[in-house]
């Protein structure tokens, strides 16, 4: 997939771990463009709450989002009213590669599933079907989770064993695919979606903060963007976006909406957002620790020095490129 490029650098880490700043610094140094792997920064109008890097669109014919003079792809291009998913991301990612003018690029983001799917392609399968999902939802409301799970057991006992009855999302998806293809969902899955070999096509970096420091940083960041975030949501509502549209379901947004509707105080909103962000950071760290990667650990504030981290990554990256050329 990357044959016309040098080995890409992949910068992963939890939210607020400083991925973007580091990626930009490296991009400038080595002459690379950046591709985002973030399921929320794709949305237009969602900026404060998603920490989307501030940039501007140039070139009307062939628009490019520029952040600090670096082309930054796959952000700020989907309307918040639209749902998005991995398959769309992979499609957009491939198209994006055609637009990149440098030999090097950096993948930067916190959506592990998207990053993984770049290196381990999804098995061919039908996309989601609104009609079937609605039917299954109705069935669920009427008969409950257990009955829905039994339905899956009839169609695909293997998946039924793997998917917990409470995990309604996955149960529905498995039934949906089984119905659409007339084959058990499990029979379409190749089971090597986490093949470690495929990651050697790239240089993975994992920025891992100590929990305490990250929590402090998230709190600070939440306070800093709070007013801007509030304004952002109010503007969207004024412009007719329903409060339950896909974009506004992003982490923290429903809490901000409760605050705007005077259901909770400002302090309470900040507290809840920090908590949810930390829960999410935990899941991200679990995901990223499965990759073999160059780990940058930050246990003290002073260790977060963007220049020295970037230089450290670049030198290790160059060594890794030389080794794989031999």
Partner RNA sequence: GCCGCGGUAGCUCAGUGGUAGAGCACUGGUCUGAAAAACCAGGUGUCGUUGGUUCGAUCCCAACCCGCGGCA
Minimal distance, residue 42 CB to RNA, in Å: 9
Q: How far is the CB of 84 from RNA (least distance, A)?
A: 5
List Cβ neighbours of 64 (8 Å cut-off, separation of 6 or more). Answer: 57, 58, 71, 73, 99
- Residue 227 or 289 having the CB closest to RNA: 289
Specify the residue, 50 or 293, whose C-beta has the smaller distance to RNA.
50
131 or 326, CB closer to RNA? 131
Q: How far is the CB of 306 from RNA (least distance, A)?
A: 20
User: Shortest gap between Cβ of 266 and RNA (angstroms)?
Assistant: 19
User: Nearest Cα to 38, choosing from 3, 84, 82?
Assistant: 84
> CB-wise, 104 or 116, nearer to RNA?
116
Rounded distance between C-alpha atoms, residue 275 and residue 214, angstroms: 11
Q: Which is nearer to RNA, 190 or 265 (CB)?
A: 190
Work out how close the CB of 263 gets to RNA at its nearest, in angstroms, rounded to a whole number.
18
**Quick check: 301 and 295 in contact, CB under 8 A?**
no
Q: With contact defined as beta carbons under 8 Å apart, do 113 and 277 qualify?
A: no
Radius of gyration, CA atoms only, the chain: 21
Residue 209 pairs in a beta bridge with 298
Q: Toward RNA, which CB reaches closer, 30 or 118?
A: 118
Write down the least CB distance from residue 16 to RNA, Å: 9
Query: How far out from the chain centre does Cα 172 lie?
Result: 22
By residue count, the chain amounts to: 326
- 3-state DSSP helix/strand/coil % of the chain, to nearest 5: 55, 10, 35
Q: Which residues bind RNA (CB under 7 A)?
A: 15, 38-41, 49-51, 83-87, 110-114, 122-125, 127-128, 133, 164, 166-170, 172-173, 177, 189-194, 211, 249-252, 275-276, 278-280, 282-287, 289-290
Cβ-Cβ contacts under 8 Å for 274 (sequence gap 6 or more)? 215, 218, 219, 222
Compute how many other C-beta atoms are within 10 angstroms of the C-beta atom of residue 212. Answer: 9
């Amino acid at each position: 997939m990357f044959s016309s490029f040098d080995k890409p650098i992949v910068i992963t880490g939890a939210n607020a771990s400083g991925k973007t700043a580091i990626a930009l610094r490296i991009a400038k140094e080595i002459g690379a463009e950046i591709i985002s792997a973030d399921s929320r920064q794709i949305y237009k109008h969602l900026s404060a709450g998603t920490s989307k890097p501030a940039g501007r669109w140039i070139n009307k014919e062939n628009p490019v989002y520029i952040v600090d003079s670096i082309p930054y792809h796959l952000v700020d291009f989907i309307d918040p009213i639209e749902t998005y998913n991995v398959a769309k991301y992979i499609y957009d990612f491939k198209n994006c590669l055609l637009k990149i003018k440098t030999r090097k690029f950096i993948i930067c983001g916190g959506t592990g599933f998207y990053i993984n799917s770049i290196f381990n392609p999804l098995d061919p399968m039908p996309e989601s079907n609104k009609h079937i999902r609605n039917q299954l939802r109705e069935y669920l409301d009427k008969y409950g989770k257990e009955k829905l799970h039994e339905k899956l057991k009839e169609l695909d006992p293997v998946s039924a064993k793997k998917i917990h009855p409470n995990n309604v999302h996955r149960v529905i998806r498995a039934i949906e695919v089984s119905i659409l293809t007339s084959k058990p969902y499990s029979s379409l899955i190749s089971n090597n979606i986490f093949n470690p070999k495929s990651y050697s096509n790239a240089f993975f970096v994992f920025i891992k903060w100590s929990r305490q420091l990250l929590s402090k940083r998230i709190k600070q960041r939440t306070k800093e963007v709070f007013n801007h975030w509030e304004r952002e949501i109010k503007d969207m509502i004024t412009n007719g976006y329903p409060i339950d549209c896909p974009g506004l379901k992003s982490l923290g947004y429903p809490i901000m909406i409760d605050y705007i509707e005077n259901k909770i105080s400002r302090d309470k909103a900040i507290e809840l957002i920090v908590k949810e962000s930390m829960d999410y950071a935990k899941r991200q760290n679990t995901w990223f620790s499965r990759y073999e990667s160059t780990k940058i650990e930050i246990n003290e504030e002073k260790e977060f020095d963007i220049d020295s981290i970037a230089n450290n990554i670049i030198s290790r990256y160059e060594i890794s490129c030389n080794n794989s050329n031999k």
